[in-house]
Amino acid sequence: MKKEIIIKSLSLVNFKGIRELSVSFDERVTDIFGRNGSGKTTLFDAFTWLLFGKDSQDRKKFDLKTLDTNGAIIPQLPHEVSAIITVNGEEIKLCRRFTEKWVKRAGQTERVFTGNEEERFYNDVPCSAREYDAKIAGICNEDVFKFITNPAYFPSQSAEAQKEMLLKMAGSISDTEIAAGNADFEALLAMITGKTMNEFKKEIASKKSRLNAEIVGIPGRIDEKKRDLSEPEDWAAIESEIKTKIAERDKIESQMADASEAQRAADNERMKIQEQTTALRRKRAQRVADIEDEATADYRKKKRERDNVQFQIDSLTNRIRSTESAINARKEEIERHNNARKVLIQEWQSLQAESIAVNAEQVQFNESDFCCPTCHRQFDVEDIEAKEAEIIENFEKQRKKKLAAIAERIAANEQKGGAVKMQKQRSIVALEASEASIKADKASIEQLKSSDVYRVELTMPDVKPLISADAQLAEIDKKISELEAKSSIPAAPANSIELKEQRNALSTAIDSLKSRLKKRDDNAKAQARIDELETQLSKQSDEIAELERIEFTMLEFSKARSAAIEQRIDGLFSLVRFRWIAPAINGAEKETCEATLNGKPYSTCSNAERIIIGLDIINAICKSQGVYAPIFVDNAESVNDIIPMQSQVISLIVSRDEQLVIEKSPAQKSLFNNH
């Protein structure tokens, strides 16, 4: 069913640079004239924002608020777009309002900006965003709206998006229909089972790119390995020479082993003699110790006794020092107790004097005590006597209270004095005990020093004559001398140095020959790697050739499909034709989708030709989709005559008019006029 959407009127309030504007539109053609920046495109932005919350460039975020001459946003202005449209003759009123939220918080004098809010009305009924979007979608799908209201929209899409829309319009042609009767095409479809043609194309391109990346370094690696090959030698002669020299080295090592065995036997004998010598030296040392112990036994006994007495004297001396320190501490304690007692005695005497003074106090009467405090009238005689008795009673109560407090302090003083006296007595007793202890310890020291054990003179006996005269030591020294003489006889030297030099020379020669022989193995490995790389290069080159063949088949298939679709698509348009294949920079061909006018590609067309192409495409899409909506033609002054359109046309024309000029045309006409 055909659906026709027409704008009857559009009203703007504080939208972008327009403070307030209302426009009524002709059902067929409306021309809007104005200088650049006068607000022509703003009308298109306002209409798309009213419907979809976006400007005509499909942007959700754009500056719709009104700015002052300095480019700053003017705050607290309402922003609103409303319109009356008809859908198949049914009138619908739409409104979208954008306002700032300003709140005056507690304790503040001015309101502050807290955000924006948006309201939507459909036939004056407020709607939520979801409800409003659903109602607009019921009028026209947003994606379709973009294609049928802006002549520049379709050509601005990617080739794939344009193809998708054209295929929807033309109806599908299956790949099987295109491949029928062509063996290469049928084989191609068999390969891409489960994928789209574009996915398979990307897969082939990826494989080809990977193979090219791998191949690019292979020739260099082959050349590098060839440079690593060494000049061939007589490998059999080298192997024979190695065997001969190894046999000679084995013979020399056998001779060295025999000489080493003789040396080990001599070393073992010397070690045995050293062990016997060591045992005799230990025995000699023990015998000397026994002689010394026997000769100095009495001396050591008396020395131990004297050392014991000296230890007792040192212990008593240390104890005296410690006790003297304790005596000094006790004396300091007694002095502190004496000072404390003096302070307490002075305090006690002061308290006694204070008690006597309190007892001596007499009651004092003032004349004011016997007058009324309010009217100052003197009391009667009976009242004066009662007042005197009361004053005396209160005075005595206070005296008793003071005396009780003083008595309590005197008791506490006497208690402290008794405690200090007791502590002083204990310190005196401890002092006397310490002095007695020092006296006893000094007497003990004098007694120990006067003992025979302490006073005896000790002399260490000379044991050297006894050691020299001992027959057992003489026998041990004789045996040690014999063993030392035996171990000093040198062993017959083996000609090991010369043998080692011969062996080392042969080992060096063998290593040199093996190094030369290793070049044979290195050459074999290098040649094997060269063969492997050449095989890989050949295989991957064949794979790339096969991938390129597949790419060529896909391109031919695309051409065949394009030719089949082109026949259908071209019939949908009055003026426009589409090209599907374009030459690439390298001379090859690539798939595309570009509108043409009289064979001229859209990318090379003038602005007028591009508008004509866009309008012809809109006619075809509207017919295909069954929906007709207002078309906004920007820069319409570049077109001599707009092609016949079934949709409402709003031409945005650059002129010298400072303010927008709206002209309704009952029929499409030439856009050239006196404006």
Domain at 373, CATH number: 1.10.287
Task: Record the tokens describing residue 46, joined without a space.
Answer: 């306002």
Separation of alpha carbons 152 and 638, rounded Å: 14
Q: Which residues pair with 3 in a beta bridge?
A: 627
CB atoms within 10 A of CB 554: 20
575 Cβ contact partners less than 8 Å away, ≥ 6 residues apart: 597, 612, 613, 616, 643
598 Cβ contact partners less than 8 Å away, ≥ 6 residues apart: none
Q: Which residues pair with 652 in a beta bridge?
A: 32, 634
174-183, 287-296, 481-490: range with highest mean pLDDT: 287-296
Q: Which helix (H) or strand (E) holds 577?
A: strand 576-583
- What are the φ/ψ torsions at residue 65 (nearest 5 degrees)? -75, 155
Q: What is the pLDDT of residue 672?
A: 36
Separation of alpha carbons 178 and 568, rounded Å: 14
pLDDT at 231 over 60: yes
526 Cβ contact partners less than 8 Å away, ≥ 6 residues apart: 225, 226, 228, 229
**pLDDT tens figures, 580-594:** 887 776 666 778 889
Q: Which residues pair with 4 in a beta bridge?
A: 628
Report yes or no on 44 lying in a domain.
yes
Q: What is the pLDDT of residue 123?
A: 96
pLDDT at 539 over 60: yes
Report yes or no on 184 lying in a domain.
no
**pLDDT tens figures, 324-357:** 999 999 899 999 999 999 999 999 999 999 899 9
- CB of 31 closer than 8 Å to CB of 107: no
Strands 631-634 and 649-654: parallel
Q: What is the pLDDT of residue 495?
A: 64
Task: Record the tokens describing residue 24, joined without a space.
Answer: 């009524």
Report yes or no on 548 lying in a domain.
no
Separation of alpha carbons 587 and 392, rounded Å: 137
Domain count, the chain: 2
pLDDT at 482 over 90: no
**pLDDT tens figures, 36-80:** 988 889 999 999 999 999 998 889 888 888 887 787 888 888 899
**pLDDT tens figures, 173-198:** 777 878 888 888 888 888 887 788 78
Q: What is the pLDDT of residue 490?
A: 64
Across 557-573, average pLDDT = 80
pLDDT at 1 over 90: no
Give Rg (Cα) of the chain.
64
CB atoms within 10 A of CB 415: 11
pLDDT at 673 over 70: no
Report yes or no on 53 lying in a domain.
yes
Separation of alpha carbons 486 and 453, rounded Å: 54
**pLDDT tens figures, 599-655:** 899 999 999 999 999 999 999 999 989 999 999 999 998 888 888 899 999 999 999
Q: Which helix (H) or strand (E) holds 115?
A: strand 112-122
Amino acid in the structure at residue 304: R
* Domain termination site, one of 400, 431, 455: 455
pLDDT at 491 over 80: no
Q: What is the pLDDT of residue 552?
A: 86
Residue 110: CATH number of its domain: 3.40.50.300
Phi and psi based region of residue 587 (left: phi greater than 0; alpha: psi -120 to 50; beta: remaining):
left
| Predicted TM-score (pTM) of this structure | 0.47
pLDDT at 675 over 50: no
More confident residue, 215 or 657: 657
Strands 649-654 and 29-34: parallel
* Domain termination site, one of 455, 483, 514: 455
Q: What is the pLDDT of residue 377?
A: 78
- CB of 429 closer than 8 Å to CB of 281: no
* Domain termination site, one of 455, 477, 501: 455
Task: Record the tokens describing residue 498, joined without a space.
Answer: 């010369």
> Scanning the structure block, which residue is given the tokens 């202890």?
437
Q: What is the pLDDT of residue 37?
A: 86
With the CA atoms of 583, 588, 593 and 594 taken in that order, what torsion angle do they form, in degrees rounded to the nearest 10? -10
Across 204-215, average pLDDT = 86
Report yes or no on 435 lying in a domain.
yes
Provide, rounded to the nearest whole percent, the portion of the chain with pLDDT above 70: 96
Separation of alpha carbons 576 and 614, rounded Å: 9
580 Cβ contact partners less than 8 Å away, ≥ 6 residues apart: 558, 559, 562, 563, 565, 566, 591, 592, 593
Q: What is the pLDDT of residue 353?
A: 92
- CB of 593 closer than 8 Å to CB of 578: yes
pLDDT band of 21, cuts 50, 70, 90: very high
Q: What is the pLDDT of residue 565?
A: 75
Separation of alpha carbons 620 and 571, rounded Å: 10
Q: What is the pLDDT of residue 493?
A: 54
pLDDT at 382 over 90: no
pLDDT at 667 over 60: no
Q: What is the pLDDT of residue 649?
A: 94
DSSP string, 154-202: HHHS-HHHHHHHHHHHH----HHHHHTT-HHHHHHHHHTTTS-HHHHHH
Q: What is the pLDDT of residue 536?
A: 84
Q: What is the pLDDT of residue 89?
A: 92
Strands across the sheet with 29-34, in order? 631-634, 649-654, 29-34, 661-665
Across 285-299, average pLDDT = 87
Q: Which residues pair with 30 in a beta bridge?
A: 650, 664
pLDDT at 492 over 70: no
Report yes or no on 257 lying in a domain.
no
Phi and psi based region of residue 121 (left: phi greater than 0; alpha: psi -120 to 50; beta: remaining):
beta
**pLDDT tens figures, 452-468:** 888 888 888 888 888 88
3-state helix, strand, coil in the chain (%, to 5): 60, 15, 25
**pLDDT tens figures, 94-145:** 999 999 888 888 777 788 888 889 999 999 999 999 999 999 999 999 999 9
- CB of 119 closer than 8 Å to CB of 97: yes
Burial of 527 (0-12, 13-18, 19+ CB in 10 A): middle
Report yes or no on 646 lying in a domain.
yes
pLDDT at 404 over 90: yes
CB atoms within 10 A of CB 74: 11
Q: What is the pLDDT of residue 329?
A: 92
Separation of alpha carbons 85 and 448, rounded Å: 136
**pLDDT tens figures, 238-267:** 888 888 989 888 888 887 877 777 677 777
Report yes or no on 342 lying in a domain.
yes
More confident residue, 673 or 367: 367
pLDDT at 669 over 60: no
pLDDT band of 494, cuts 50, 70, 90: low
Lowest-pLDDT range, 404-418, 489-503, 512-526, 621-635? Answer: 489-503
Q: Which domain holds residue 330?
A: 298-455
Q: Which residues pair with 601 in a beta bridge?
A: 596
pLDDT at 421 over 80: yes
**What letter does residue 494 receive in the DSSP assignment?**
P
- CA atoms within 13 A of residue 359's CA, in its CB half-sphere: 9
Q: What is the pLDDT of residue 222?
A: 84
DSSP string, 308-361: HHHHHHHHHHHHHHHHHHHHHHHHHHHHHHHHHHHHHHHHHHHHHHHHHHHHH-
Whole-Å CA distances, 4 to 46, 51, 459, 616, 629: 20, 16, 143, 17, 6
> Scanning the structure block, which residue is given the tokens 């979208």?
96
